[in-house]
Amino acid sequence: MKMNRPVLIQAPESFPVTLEEAKAHLRVDWDDEDGIISAFIAAAVSYLDGWSGILGRCLVEQTWRMDFSKFCRELPLPLAPVTSIASITWRNADGQTATIDDDEYLLEVDSAGNSFARFRNAYVFPSSLYERDAISVTFVAGYPADEDDNSTVPGALKVAILLLVAEWFNNREASVPGSVAELPFAVNALISPFRRMVL
């Protein structure tokens, strides 16, 4: 099955680390550089997070849509960790859209952390589909906040973000003389267990 690029429907409402946490890590107790520190946080998160991030996973909860041209018993969802499926819709040949009852499918996650929208065996797939991208799965991915609204992003990833922020804060040029590594060794070590192959 041809894999489409997922579409971001709702971006995260916060970052895995706060400005205050970054300033504490940097030992910065003044406010003049809040803007640049916030920009470094956003850049570090962007480097790791979502479809374009190097991890192939989402950090803070966000909503995505994946489109498919035909039905299969299992439809792969290319990000992790997927926490829920919000809806599955399909379009007929006339372009009319219908929503599939949520009793007809469930979220499955295999031992490798890959997620699927799996239709029940008794579900009969609609026919006469629209010519392309007829089926849309909208899903929520990312680490949810806890009951106190604190981030549950793994600590290693938070530390990696803080290290990237510190690296860029302390070395603001495009390149650092003598540096040969794309990322600091500690950052690579921290994020390596969380890298995944996109389906």
In the chain, the number of structural domains is: 2
Per-residue confidence (pLDDT) for residue 177, from 0 to 100: 52
Give alpha helix (H) positions in the chain.
19-26, 34-48, 155-170, 185-191
Residue 1 domain-assigned (yes or no)? no
Residue 152 resides in a domain? yes
- Claim to verify: residue 90 and residue 132 sit in the same structural domain: yes
Tell which residue, 123, 3, 131, has the closest CA to residue 75: 3
What CATH number does the domain containing 26 carry?
A: 1.10.3230.30
Band of pLDDT at residue 29, cut at 50, 70 and 90: very high
Q: What is the pLDDT of residue 112?
A: 85
Yes or no: say if 68 and 103 are a contact pair by the CB < 8 Å rule: no
Q: How many CB atoms lie within 10 A of CB 84?
A: 12
Query: DSSP E strands: which ranges in 29-96?
Result: 62-68, 74-77, 82-91
Instruction: Identify whether 92 is part of a domain.
Output: yes
pTM greater than 0.85 (yes/no): yes
124 confidence band (pLDDT: 50, 70, 90): very high
Residues of the domain holding 189: 7-56+147-194
Tell me: do 75 and 116 sit in the same domain: yes
Tokens of 144: 């949810």
Q: What is the pLDDT of residues 38-95, one digit of tens each?
A: 999 999 999 999 999 999 999 999 999 999 999 999 999 999 999 999 999 999 999 9
